[in-house]
Amino acid sequence: MSDYQNPYSTPQATADNSFQRPSEHDLQGEFKPFKTIWLSPRRTVRQIVSVDPTLHVLLLACLSGVGETLDRASMRNLGDVVSLPVIIAIACLLGPVGGIVGLWIGSWLIAFTGKWIGGTGTSETVRTAIAWASVPTIVAMLLWIPQLLMMREELFTSETPRLEANPGLIVPVLALSLVEIVLAVWSFVLMCNTIAEVQSFGSAWRGFSNMLLAGAVVFVPIIALVLVAIAVG
């Protein structure tokens, strides 16, 4: 009697039994990550990792990099040195590169230090967590449009004669700035949760601790070197 006819033989693997990554339709619940990430970050990032950990990660990193470049240019009054078109060009060309590099380095540090406190995430899943948590700050980039229309190059300069000559602009400018701050804070809250999820932490506070630990690995040695240099000098 052949194995095929023997009812007690070990079942043989066939092509139909091969493992396949779960599809969106196989997942329980709604899979609209750009919508659900706002209020259900842990469930959303869990679904994304199950379907495809790389889903839109590069795109989100690039857009986040553009926003961060514009923010730094504004805080450092880059407009005192270069024109507004140059600032926009720098943000659009170099921002995506900085966003990708920063995401890759940051995710490695968080995954690495997370293992010290029992984290189980990989650099890939941590990248997913960080990238998708940045959705609110990416949405906040839309607020640059009305601000540029009202302030123009003065968004990036230390002097603001247009604003001083039009006090009525102060209220809408402050309101838009407040919305940006709220979105930035919410993005941080989401990141604590998404990192906790991919690291298998029960609490978002442990995700926050993981980020602090990663930051300490970078800044503590730098501070120590500065203090040594001051002491020696």
DSSP 79-137: GGTS-HHHHHHHHHHHHHHHHHHHHHHHHHHHHHHHGGGT----HHHHHHHHHHHTHHH
Mean pLDDT of the chain: 88
Burial of 188 by CB count in 10 Å (0-12 exposed, 13-18 middle, 19+ buried)?
Answer: middle
pLDDT tens string 197-222: 999 999 999 999 999 999 999 999 99
Q: What pLDDT band is residue 84 in, cutting at 50, 70 and 90? A: very high
pLDDT at 166: 85
Residue closest to 174 by CA, chosen among 153, 143, 152: 143
Calculated CA dihedral for residues 199, 128, 49, 51, nearest 10 degrees: 180
Average pLDDT over residues 120-145: 97
Asked if pLDDT for residue 9 goes beyond 60, the answer is no
- Residue 74 CA to residue 55 CA, distance in Å, equals 31
Q: What is the largest CA-CA distance in the chain?
A: 97
pLDDT at 231: 87
Asked if pLDDT for residue 7 goes beyond 50, the answer is no
Residue closest to 214 by CA, chosen among 195, 190, 194, 193: 195
pTM of the model: 0.84
Q: What pLDDT band is residue 89 in, cutting at 50, 70 and 90? A: very high
At 41, which helix (H) or strand (E)? helix 41-51
pLDDT at 24: 44
Does residue 73 contact residue 90 with C-beta atoms inside 8 Å?
yes
- Residue 48 CA to residue 230 CA, distance in Å, equals 48
Q: Which of 20-34, 107-121, 203-217 has the lowest mean pLDDT?
A: 20-34
Asked if pLDDT for residue 167 goes beyond 90, the answer is no
Asked if pLDDT for residue 194 goes beyond 60, the answer is yes
* Token pair listed for 185: 């804070």
Any alpha helices (H) in 160-203, and if so which ranges?
A: 161-165, 170-198
| C-alpha distance from residue 24 to each of 27, 33, 127, 130 (Å) | 6, 11, 20, 21
- Residue 142 CA to residue 214 CA, distance in Å, equals 30
Average pLDDT over residues 163-189: 92
- Ramachandran region of residue 175, left (φ > 0), alpha (ψ -120 to 50) or beta? alpha
pLDDT at 12: 44
pLDDT tens string 59-81: 999 999 999 999 999 999 999 99
- Residue 128 CA to residue 46 CA, distance in Å, equals 10
Asked if pLDDT for residue 104 goes beyond 50, the answer is yes
Asked if pLDDT for residue 4 goes beyond 90, the answer is no
